[in-house]
Amino acid sequence: MAKSTFPIECINEIFKHFENDTTSLHSCLLVNRLWCRTIIPILWRKPFSLMQRSIKFSLSLIEIYLLFLNEEEKQLRKYHPELYPIFKKVLFNYPSFLKEFYYETMFSSIKLWVKTTITITSSQFDNQYNSNYINKISHRLSQSLFKMFLRNNAKVYLLNIKSFENNPDFPYLPKDSFSTSFSNLKIFQFSVDSQPLYNLPNTYSFLKSLSQSCNTLSHIFIDSYFNNNDDDKEEIFFNIIKSQRNIKKIIINSHGNIPKSILNLLINQSSLVLLHFIDTKFNNLFPFEILLNCNNLKFLLIVNCHELEHNNNTINNNNSNNSNNTSHTILSSHTIPSSHTITSPSSSSSLSPKNIKCKIDTLHLKNNHFLPLTISNLIQLSGINLTTLCLDRTTSYIILSKPLSIHCPNITHLILTLDSISFFQSVQSIISNLNLKYFGIRSFGWTNELISDLGNYLPISLKYLELSCFFDYEALYMLLKNCKCKLRGLIMIMFNDDYLKFIIDYAKINDEFNLLGIDGYLAEDDESSFLKILKEETNVKIVDQDEIKFESSPLYFDYLYKR
C-alpha cells in the first residue's frame, strides 16, 4: 500500500467516530502499522464497556491485564498460582490506554475470572470455596490490577464508582498517584447506598482527594442517600461540586431530601448545560432560585420528585379565592401569583421569570408530585426557547388547557400523558398551531376515540408519531387514513397482523415512511405473512423505539442518554 500523506491527527479523529464499532476497527487495524498504532489506543480506551457486553470478552480482557502485573502485585501466587496466566509477549502497553474506569465492572469481571480459574480441592470446598472467600480473593486481585493501572500511567477521564453492600471498598490510592492518573478527570459517576462513608475508608479518602485536587470535572452524577446522621456525604459532595470550574452536567439522585447546601451551590453554576433531579424531595416548593444564574442551561429534567406535602394545604388555601382558570392554565408571561412566588436567597423580593436568565430548550417532567403552578411556571420560564417538552404522568390535563403555541410557540417535540378522560378532548387545542416534528401520546387506558380522530388535526409538519397507548386496529386505520402529514416513523406498543396490514397500506402511499418502532422483539424467522409483505414490498424497517427517538432529535437523545 502506498504511504499515506493524510495527517495522522486527521486519521485519528476519523477512527474516533468508530469507537463503538469494534468490528470495523479490528478490520482497519490490519491495513498497515500506522493504522494499527492509531486504532489500538482507541479500542483500549474503554474496555469495561466490552466486559459488560460479553462474558467471553470479559475473561479475555482480564487475562490480558493480568499479564501486566509485576511480581509484587501477584499477591496470591503462593495460594492460587492458577489465577495468573502464563506470560505472553504483548505488543502494546494496553493499561496505559485506559480512559474510562468502572471499578464495579472490573470487580465483577475479576470475580468471574476467579470462579472460572481457581482450583478447588476437597478440603477447601467446605471451608474456603464460598461467597466470602471468592469476594476476598477478587478484592485483592482488583487492588493489584488497580495499582497496575496507576503504575502504567493510565490517564482516566471517566471514573465510575459503585459502593454498595455487596461491593468492596475502593482500592487504596496513594496520594502521589492521584495527580498522575486523575489530574484530567472529566466525568465522575458515584453511587452509594445508605451506609455511611466511614464504612468505606478508601472510598472516603479518594473522594476527599478528589475534592481537594481536581477542578476539571464537567459531568457529575451523584446517586446517594443523604441521611440526617451522615454529614460526611454532604460535606464531601459539597466540596467536590464547589471546587469545579466548568461543570456542564449534574445529575443528582438523592433518594429523598436533598441538602440545602448542595442546592445553594447550584445557584452560581453559570456553565451548567444539563440539570437532572431524580427521586428528590424538595423542602417546600421547587427551588426556582437555583436557576437564577444558570445562563447556559438547556436541559432541565425532573423525575420522580416531590414538593413536600405539608406546604400544599397552605398554598391551596391561598389560591381558594382565585378563579378556576388560575390553577388550570399556564400563567401569563408577566406575573407569578404571590401564592407561588420565587424568592431569591439574597433578597426577600419576588423573582419574575424575566429575572431568571436560563434559556431552557428541553423540559422533561416525569412522574412528579408537584403543584400545578410549579409546572406552569417551569413551562413559562422556558417560553420561546422551549423546543422539547415531555410531560409524562405529570398531571398534564391541569396545566395544558390552553394552546401551547401561546406560551411556547417553538416546540417541535412534545410528549403527553393522557391522565384524564376530559383531557382527550383537549389534545387538538393543545397542539394547534405548533410545528411539531415529534408527537408522543402515552396512556394506560383505551384511547380509541382519540386515536380515530387524531389524524384530522396532526400538524402537517409532523414526521414522527409515538402511540404508547392502547387502541383497536380500526382506530389506527382511521388515523392513517385521515393523516395529512407524511410520517417517517411510527412507534407503537400494540402490534399484530391486524394493525400491520394498515401500516403496509400506508407505507405504499407514503414513500417517506421507513421506520416502525415496536415494543418488544420480533424474531428474524417470524412467520407472519404481513411481516413478510412489509419487508418485501415496502422500505419500512422494524427498529428499536430508541432509534426513532434518536433520529428525531439526536442532540437531545445523545445528551440525555450518553455521557
From the list 506, 391, 520, 515, the residue with the least C-alpha distance to 464 is 515
From the list 9, 18, 47, 11, the residue with the least C-alpha distance to 156 is 47
Query: Options 1.20.120, 1.10.4030, 1.20.140, 3.80.10; which CATH number does 46-121+129-292 get?
Result: 3.80.10
In angstroms, rounded to a whole number, what is the distance separating the alpha carbons of residues 496 and 37? 50
pLDDT tens-place values along the chain, 563 residues long: 445 567 777 887 888 877 777 888 888 888 888 888 888 988 899 888 777 777 888 888 999 999 999 888 888 888 788 888 887 888 899 999 999 999 888 998 998 898 888 865 544 555 555 777 888 888 889 889 988 998 888 889 999 998 876 677 888 777 666 767 888 899 999 998 877 787 888 888 889 888 888 899 999 999 998 876 667 888 999 999 999 999 999 999 999 889 889 998 988 888 999 999 999 999 888 989 888 888 899 999 999 999 875 444 433 433 333 333 333 333 333 333 333 344 433 333 456 656 777 889 999 999 888 888 888 888 888 888 999 999 887 655 455 556 677 888 999 999 988 765 556 566 777 787 889 999 999 887 778 888 998 999 899 999 999 999 889 999 999 999 999 999 999 999 877 888 999 999 999 999 999 999 986 545 444 556 777 888 888 889 988 888 888 888 876 666 555 54
Contact status, residue 256 vs residue 225, Cβ threshold 8 Å: yes
In angstroms, rounded to a whole number, what is the distance separating the alpha carbons of residues 367 and 541? 32
In angstroms, rounded to a whole number, what is the distance separating the alpha carbons of residues 80 and 115? 12
In angstroms, rounded to a whole number, what is the distance separating the alpha carbons of residues 350 and 341? 6
Name the helix (H) or strand (E) containing 18: none
Contact status, residue 412 vs residue 432, Cβ threshold 8 Å: no
In angstroms, rounded to a whole number, what is the distance separating the alpha carbons of residues 288 and 551? 32
Domain extent listing, the chain: 9-44, 46-121+129-292, 444-562
In angstroms, rounded to a whole number, what is the distance separating the alpha carbons of residues 77 and 45? 29
In angstroms, rounded to a whole number, what is the distance separating the alpha carbons of residues 507 and 539? 8
Contact status, residue 470 vs residue 441, Cβ threshold 8 Å: no
In angstroms, rounded to a whole number, what is the distance separating the alpha carbons of residues 533 and 224? 51
- Collapsing DSSP to helix, strand or coil, 355 comes out as helix
Q: What is the pTM of this model?
A: 0.84
